[in-house]
């Protein structure tokens, strides 16, 4: 796990850092199919003063639970659209550091390069973890797209100023799609395929769905 910077940054410093880090993102085909897939999600406490993250590792192809960890941190960075990873990444890293198993790939509830400066949470964390990472978000942050056909497995490309930044993927027939993008060390084709493999019965891929369930329970207790 790499240490890239601290989090005590001004707005202009954070923007400059995002641009610098975005140039380090690697688009590489996966060397082999992943066996251990980690899902990562975070949420804020009811009073908004703390943030909770949960990491879940599942083993493919049966999606057996291997490990689950969580972390809680005080919110230390203000809410600024486009800079959410500076609020969320520290607690996500804390949860992942508790894992004993080493996942082959991370699916993160957030954007990868589908971001104005090509450095959403999944891309930011991908550089920290130095692992293949996929961004799988519930909504669009930036870009334009056409609705994919209604059948599960269909998708359409998402573009920003003619640059392909992700895909809008239908994980269940006639259900709202998810927004998939490269985080680090994978291709968009890899990201789409693994998202669909992991979307067994629900809209969200199973690793992030379970992480979301757990973090939703925990945020009521802190």
- Express each pLDDT in 138-183 by its tens digit: 999 999 999 999 999 999 999 999 999 999 999 999 999 999 999 9
Model pTM score: 0.93
pLDDT, tens only, 16-66: 999 999 999 999 999 999 999 999 999 999 888 999 999 999 999 999 999
Mean pLDDT of 108-135: 97
- In this structure, are residues 69 and 98 in contact, taking their beta carbons and an 8 Å threshold? yes
Query: Within 10 A of 34 (CB to CB), how many other CB atoms are there?
Result: 22
Q: Both tokens of residue 191? A: 């990201």
Q: Both tokens of residue 192? A: 């789409």
pLDDT confidence of 4, banded at 50, 70, 90? Answer: very low
What architecture (CATH level 2) is domain 26-218? 2-Layer Sandwich (3.30)
Question: What's 173's DSSP letter?
Answer: T
The residue with tokens 């497995």 is: 153
Mean pLDDT of 83-109: 96
Distance of alpha carbon 108 from alpha carbon 32, whole angstroms: 20
What pLDDT does 195 receive?
98
The residues spanned by each domain of the chain are: 26-218
Distance of alpha carbon 170 from alpha carbon 152, whole angstroms: 5
Q: Which residues make beta-bridge pairs with 67?
A: 57
Distance of alpha carbon 162 from alpha carbon 62, whole angstroms: 39
């Amino acid at each position: 796990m790499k240490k890239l910077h601290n989090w005590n940054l001004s707005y202009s410093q954070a923007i400059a850092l995002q641009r610098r880090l975005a140039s380090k993102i690697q688009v590489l085909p996966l060397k082999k199919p992943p066996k251990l897939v980690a899902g990562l999600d975070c949420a804020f406490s009811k009073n908004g003063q703390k943030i909770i993250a949960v990491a879940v590792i599942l083993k493919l192809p049966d999606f057996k639970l291997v490990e689950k960890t969580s972390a809680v941190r005080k919110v230390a960075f203000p809410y600024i659209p486009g800079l959410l990873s500076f609020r969320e990444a520290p607690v996500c890293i804390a949860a992942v550091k508790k894992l004993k198993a080493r996942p082959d790939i991370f699916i993160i509830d957030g954007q990868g390069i589908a971001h104005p400066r090509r450095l959403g949470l999944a891309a930011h964390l991908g550089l920290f973890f130095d692992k293949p990472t996929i961004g799988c978000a519930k909504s669009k942050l930036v870009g334009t797209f056409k609705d994919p056909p209604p059948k599960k497995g269909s998708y359409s490309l998402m573009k920003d100023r003619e640059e392909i930044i992700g895909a809008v993927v239908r994980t269940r027939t006639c259900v709202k799609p998810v927004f998939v993008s490269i985080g680090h060390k994978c291709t968009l084709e890899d990201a789409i395929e693994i998202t669909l493999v992991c979307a067994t019965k629900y809209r969200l891929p199973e690793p992030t769905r379970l992480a979301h369930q757990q973090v939703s329970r925990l945020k009521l207790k802190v």
